[in-house]
Structure formats: structure tokens, C-alpha cells
Copies of this chain bind each other. A is one copy, B any other.
Amino acid sequence: MYETIALVGATGAVGRIVLEQLVERKFPYKRLKLLASERSVGKEVRVGDETIKIELLEPNAFKHVDLVIASTPDEVSAEFAAWAVEAGAVVVDESAFWRMDDKVPLVVPEVNPDAVDHHSGIIASPNCSTTQMVVALAPLHKAARVKRVVVSTYQATSGAGIAGNEELKDSVRDSLSGKVHPAKVFQHPIAFNLIPQIGSRKYEGYTSEEMKMVYETRKIFGDDDIQICPTCVRVPVMIGHSESILVETERPLTAAEATELFRAADGVTVVDDLDAMQYPMPRDCDGKDDVFVGRIRKDISGSGGIAFWCVSDNLRKGAATNAVQIAELLVRKAAAVSS
């Protein structure tokens, strides 16, 4: 049913990992097209045992394509998605452009898999910082209903793509030899620094990145009563977003209950032994697909809530892995219908 698939944005930080995952996870495609802008056309990319030439992303590129996975800037997605849908393909889109569209399901397979049933050609994958948070919150929400979340993020430079990591490396190298590397990708020099701004001002002094965490979480859980206070911060780490989360639930949970719920949850790995200095850290989560949770403890400020620390590879579960999992879900659902 999804025999011919196309990847839009194959040369980006996320696109490269999508290709790896299609091979590693043995995604059942017959033909794979790689589409990109003019700059990359003609480049050859190794995918498993095949070498595939990148073709131009243009209105006729989606003929006979059944499924598209796309990791592109918002404005690219705004344009090409209609071409793909027109040609009869289903688009799994990583960009922010379609996420809050009422006709577009916003899907994290561990959390709301059935949302894929009601698409009109486009299915959106959430923002990286939202995805790992909802994967972690899902078991607590199911068991005790999440009422309120206070979250502070520590976000890696690869959230801004390959250029983000290059800027961090160059910036650190220059800083160590006493120079200041000019900021291009980020708003300010990132070497040995923190930037408490991701995105632009959006609402009541919150940034677009912060408001994504609010709106997308509510849409994924289908619960507009969930209250969220986010602070999003860029940190000099290459891969792996971290989040300090305080969650208040309708039914108070003990730390032991929360730990059990995390342990039993799909896509969550608990690493939590403070005496043994074991907790999730970006360097340990790089290249892994799960969402890692630790420092699980009761809120000692009296809310009856749970505080925890959550890390995930922002290029994997935060982007590539989630998109490939959505595609796998579509394949499984199609197989179930036809059998």
C-alpha cells in the first residue's frame, strides 16, 4: 500500500537520520525517492545497499508516490504538501506549519496513535521539545490526569540543524583561543553561554518555541485544560534536549507510583539512581530512540506533584524517529484493514 515513499529534506540533520532509520528498522518500502531543493539535486546518497540520486522538489515530483516523510523549513512544507496530497500521497511532516491545523492530526505513536485515522493527507509530527515531554507525561496523564506542568528546557544546538552544531563547535574553538565567533544561526555567541530565547515573541512574553509546548501538548492529549508554563533555553550541547519538569496531577501520585508508570510506558526508559550518579544526560542519550527519565521525586513545594528530569535525542524521538514511527503506524493500520 505504501510501496513508493519520498523523503523531502534528505540532506538535513533530521533527513539523514530518517534514512538510517528506514534501513535499520527495515521499513517495508519498494522504491525510495529523495527530494530536495535545487542546491542538492544530483547529489548521490547511500541508503542501505542502494545509491539514490537526489531529485528536484517540484509539483510533479510526487507522481506515484504513496507516502512522504518531510523534514523541511515551515515555508517549504507550506508549499509542497499540497503537491503531494494532490498526487494522492500521505505526508508525514516534521515542520511546524501544519501542526495546529484542525484537519491535520498531530501524532506521537506512543500517545495518540488513533489520531492518524482522521487525516486529510497530512499528518504532523510535533516539535522536539513537545514530543519527549508528552511521551514522558502520557503514562501519568492516563493514570492520574495532568492538570499543570512547569517545564524549563535545556535544548541542544542541533535543534537548529547541522549549521547549529557547526556554529557551536566553531564558537567553542574560537573562545578557547580568546576570540569571539560571530553568531549567525543563534541570536548570540553560544560558546560557554546560554540563550533564553528559542523562536520569536509569540504571546504574553513567551516565545514561539514555548507556545508550541503549550498548544501542541493540549492537541496531542486532546485536553485543553492542561496548563503549562514553559521556559525554553538553548544550551551549548550538540545532541539531546533536556527538560526539568514539574507535573501536578488531579490525583496526586507518589514518586514510587510515578516511577512504576514510567517503567511500564512505551518509549520511556528510567535511569534513576542518584547515589550511583545515574540519571539521563545528553551524552548518554545521543543516538538512542527512547525518552529517558530520572531524578523522579515528589514536589516538596506542596502541590502533590512530581518533579523529574527528561532527556531525549532531539534528532531521533524529537524528529526522525517519531516521523518514521508514524509512517510505520500507517503501514500497520493499512495492513490490518486489508487483511
Contact = CB atoms under 8 A, between A and B. Distances in A.
Interface of A: 148-150, 152, 154, 168-169, 172-173, 176, 187-189, 192-197, 200-201, 203-207, 214, 227-229, 231, 233, 235-238, 242, 244, 246, 255, 274-275, 277, 279-283, 294-303, 307, 309, 311
Majority secondary structure of chain A interface residues (helix, strand, loop or mixed): mixed
Contact of A176 (B172, B197, B280, B296): B172
B229 A277 contact: no
A307 B236 contact: no
Given A154-B233, A194-B281, A229-B299, 20 more contacts: A148-B303, A152-B152, A152-B244, A173-B176, A187-B277, A192-B238, A194-B242, A194-B311, A196-B294, A197-B279, A204-B255, A205-B255, A206-B297, A206-B300, A228-B301, A229-B303, A229-B307, A233-B242, A233-B309, A236-B237
A314 to B, nearest CB: 13
Given A154-B233, A172-B176, A233-B154, A148 B301 contact: yes
30 contacts: A148-B303, A150-B150, A152-B152, A152-B244, A154-B154, A154-B233, A168-B192, A169-B176, A172-B176, A188-B283, A192-B236, A193-B237, A193-B281, A193-B282, A194-B242, A196-B280, A196-B281, A196-B294, A197-B277, A197-B295, A201-B274, A201-B275, A204-B255, A205-B296, A229-B246, A229-B300, A229-B301, A235-B235, A235-B236, A244-B244
